[in-house]
Structure 1
């Protein structure tokens, strides 16, 4: 964290796939960039980060450095954006595993994602899995006491292609992702009042 951004509120991004930078991670980055433009610092836990998290064990109290860094970032966050590929009609295992780790916050003054705005993004190769993945994410966020933002982005990667420069082939998709970043940034102050 740079000294110039240390005082800024934090938006944490969770999402991606194991095995390289994915369209899900690229979509998440666009949303986080929009939150940065609203005056927030961001931290992304992409596929490579989530691959370092062992399978969640509720009986284990000895967490590794990657698990502690993830949970500490959520504890410090003012808002969260979750992006998941749609695998077999629902969220990916690595995203779910990361979210399961939030059980470590159960006894905190602010448990889980309580009172935080949470932006949602689903990517899939086709439309069917995007809708069911968004629905699953909304249900999980509600269970974690968070507030899903009014807009969620469902992206069909059969149609929309992301590039290495932080853009996408469909400007409307880029705007939808930016809207998610703006919404979590705008709603975050409500959670701290």
Structure 2
């Protein structure tokens, strides 16, 4: 089963990158890191789809059977980097795929707005955003060692287990209806 992590954190370092790297390594997933894959600002012009980074993004998401979307929460919403990347993808890339949603917040009540925005966008793209979702606050990270503490890591495992379950069921239904 091919799971792709789309990390919407634009920073070269930071908690979103720590979480994305953890998922990619621990669960053997493909990582598309928007701090490294530099996309043009989406304008909708056809010529943009010839951009090498845009093609790479589209190929990796198309090949995925399940997807994890990660974003920091900036000013009550998802990162511009992730929204920009999603604008280059349409329902052709997401329809009937299981998607896990995870946000990295600054603390307090942060994160829920980003999760809600991602859920709305996934609905518009005909994706199946799984019920379980996750907010990781600053206290979830051991920033000095660049890793998650054990309890939040267990929550990430639960999220990935649910994504795996939904992806398997979706694949089985596709196979039976083929």
Q: Could you tell me which of 98, 122, 136 is aligned with 1:155?
A: 136
Q: CA deviation at 1:141?
A: 1.1
Q: CA deviation at 1:127?
A: 2.8
Which residue in the other structure is 1:54 paired with?
40
Query: How do 1:22-171 residues align onto structure 2 when only pairs under 5 Å count?
Result: 22-36=14-28, 42-50=29-37, 52-61=38-47, 62-103=49-90, 106=91, 111-157=92-138, 159-163=139-143, 167-169=147-149, 171=150
RMSD: 2.0
Relative to 1, partners in 2 of residues 1:183 and 1:129: Cα closer, same or farther, differing over 3 Å? same
Which residue in the other structure is 1:6 paired with?
none
- The TM-score, its normalising length taken from structure 1, stands at 0.80
* Whole-angstrom CA distance in 1 between matches of 2:146 and 2:99: 22
CA-to-partner distance for each residue in 1:22-56, whole Å, 9 max, x for gaps?
211221233344543xxxxx211113234x10011
CA-to-partner distance for each residue in 1:129-172, whole Å, 9 max, x for gaps?
21111111111111111111121111111x22245766323x22
Considering Cα pairs closer than 8 Å and 6+ residues apart, tell me whether 1 or 2 has the greater RCO: 1
Unmatched 5+ residue regions in structure 2? Answer: none
Structure 1 stretches of at least 4 aligned residues deviating more than 6 Å after TM superposition: none
Relative to 1, partners in 2 of residues 1:147 and 1:35: Cα closer, same or farther, differing over 3 Å? farther
Count of equivalent residues = 171
Which residue in the other structure is 1:10 paired with?
2
Preserved contact between residue 35 and residue 182 of structure 1 (Cα < 8 Å): no
Unmatched 5+ residue regions in structure 1? Answer: 1-8, 37-41
* Whole-angstrom CA distance in 1 between matches of 2:24 and 2:163: 10
* Whole-angstrom CA distance in 2 between matches of 1:66 and 1:10: 20
* Whole-angstrom CA distance in 2 between matches of 1:34 and 1:187: 19
